Structure 1
Amino acid sequence: MYAVVGFLIAGGIGTISATQTWIMARRVDAAEPLLVTGADAVPLLAALSLAVLALGAALSIAGRALRYVLAVLGLGAAAALIAGTLPISLDPPLSSVAPVLTKATGLSGGKALQALVTALEPTAWPVAALIAWTLLLAASAFVLLTAHRWKAGGRRYEQNPAVRHADAGPLDPVDSWDELSHGTDPTGPSR
């Protein structure tokens, strides 16, 4: 249960942070900084954050084997997101704001953009996202270590067709169709 909550929290923070300002790019040609969102700074941020939310939802009902697969996918997503977020939270590279700068100014190329930018200042959002990815990494590792001890999620909703109550009485037409679906002839000698 804790792992599912960890996945959902990490995915939620990532999804929200994708729309928030991650970097303020100060330029020589403008008084106001250019605001760069998380989705612009890390192109995979929104997609992977939504995938993490889906992994968390799937993890809550998955069987044992699928839990391991989901945990490995969670580890991969955490590694990719940490690799994309860590440089921005420490010292944003020019490449993380280049597409937004090119769209705003019409200039492209490393030298032209470098001459245009005076400072790249990260906000608190990359740090918040980095904490979320660390939580995702821990939740994924937790699933790998404990998945064998979880109760089976989907089995409580399955019905065993071999189990039949003696006092159930005669079959109605719906039950007859169900028997046929399970490979039993409801008109056979056993009835």
Structure 2
Amino acid sequence: MSATSSVPAWKRKSTLVMLAILAALAVFGTTTQTWLHVSIAQGAVQQSDLNIPGSKAAVAVSALALVALAGALAVTIAGRVARIITGVIVLLAAAGIIVVVLGVLADPSAAAMAEVGKATGVVGVASNAATTWFPVAAVIAAAVLALAAVLILWAGRGWTVRSKYDAAAAPGAQPAPGAPIDEVDSWDRLSRGDDPTA
């Protein structure tokens, strides 16, 4: 049985990174949809034709989703220390998304105020804003993203080193006898004072 097959799927690097990427994309995808339906009070007339997407109702969510996506992608090539840093960044981005979206859900009228002001030309116009299900979906996706980040931080401690540069940095690591030497290996040996032509 191979080492990879003995590791549970939920601990594998490929599984957790893919989960984080999909969750970040899901959050970003919700921001392209309508988050708020607004009825604007103008005298005795009610207008219900203003729909506000998540990218305008909560600008920070789109930015944080992109940060989380970049962090999840960076995990695929990060070493041990960089993996911890990027994992923490992804976790903080997920937490930030949840906080911002909960603010929109708690007070949709305040979240809609800027767009209502642009639509009416008057700042502070009273509006009756209602949320759609997309902010809730964003919170769920962000919670999955946070879970993936926590699992990356926890399970990532046991992930094997994939890079030959990381392997070379390991104590006592030496190239196998008779292994082919490329230009990079030659430069590494020269920097250690060895003659690669010997």
Normalising by structure 2, report the TM-score.
0.75
Residues 97, 61 of structure 1: alpha-carbon distance in 2 compared, 3 angstrom cutoff: same
Amino acid corresponding to residue 29 of structure 2 in structure 1: I
Task: Pick one of 121, 136, 144 that aligns with 1:106.
Answer: 121
- How far apart, in 1, do the equivalents of 2:183 and 2:135 lie? 60
In 1, are the aligned partners of 2:41 and 2:125 still within 8 Å (CA)? no
- How far apart, in 2, do the equivalents of 1:70 and 1:18 lie? 23
1:134 lines up with 2:143 in the alignment: yes
Shift of 1:162: 5.1
- How far apart, in 1, do the equivalents of 2:22 and 2:130 lie? 26
Task: Pick one of 157, 164, 171 that aligns with 1:155.
Answer: 164
Any idea what SS the aligned residue of 1:33 has? strand
Task: Pick one of 1, 24, 32 that aligns with 1:11.
Answer: 24
Structure 2 unmatched ranges of 5 or more = 1-13
In 2, are the aligned partners of 1:22 and 1:123 still within 8 Å (CA)? yes
Shift of 1:61: 2.2
Count of residues in Structure 1 that have an aligned counterpart in Structure 2: 175
Residues 14, 177 of structure 1: alpha-carbon distance in 2 compared, 3 angstrom cutoff: closer
1:143 lines up with 2:159 in the alignment: no
In 2, are the aligned partners of 1:25 and 1:120 still within 8 Å (CA)? yes
Task: Pick one of 64, 81, 85 that aligns with 1:69.
Answer: 85
In 2, are the aligned partners of 1:17 and 1:125 still within 8 Å (CA)? yes
Shift of 1:134: 0.4
Shift of 1:21: 0.7
Residues 64, 181 of structure 1: alpha-carbon distance in 2 compared, 3 angstrom cutoff: closer
- How far apart, in 2, do the equivalents of 1:96 and 1:26 lie? 14
Task: Pick one of 115, 120, 144 that aligns with 2:129.
Answer: 120
Shift of 1:72: 1.1
Cα deviation code 1:139-166 (max 9, x no counterpart): 1111222121112233389789855528
Residues 148, 186 of structure 1: alpha-carbon distance in 2 compared, 3 angstrom cutoff: closer
- How far apart, in 1, do the equivalents of 2:38 and 2:196 lie? 74
Amino acid corresponding to residue 147 of structure 2 in structure 1: A
Normalising by structure 1, report the TM-score.
0.78
Q: 1:179 matched to which residue of 2? A: 186
Q: Tell which structure's C-alpha radius of gyration is larger.
A: 1
Which of the pair has the greater relative contact order for Cα pairs under 8 Å at 6+ separation?
A: 1
Q: 1:52 matched to which residue of 2? A: 68
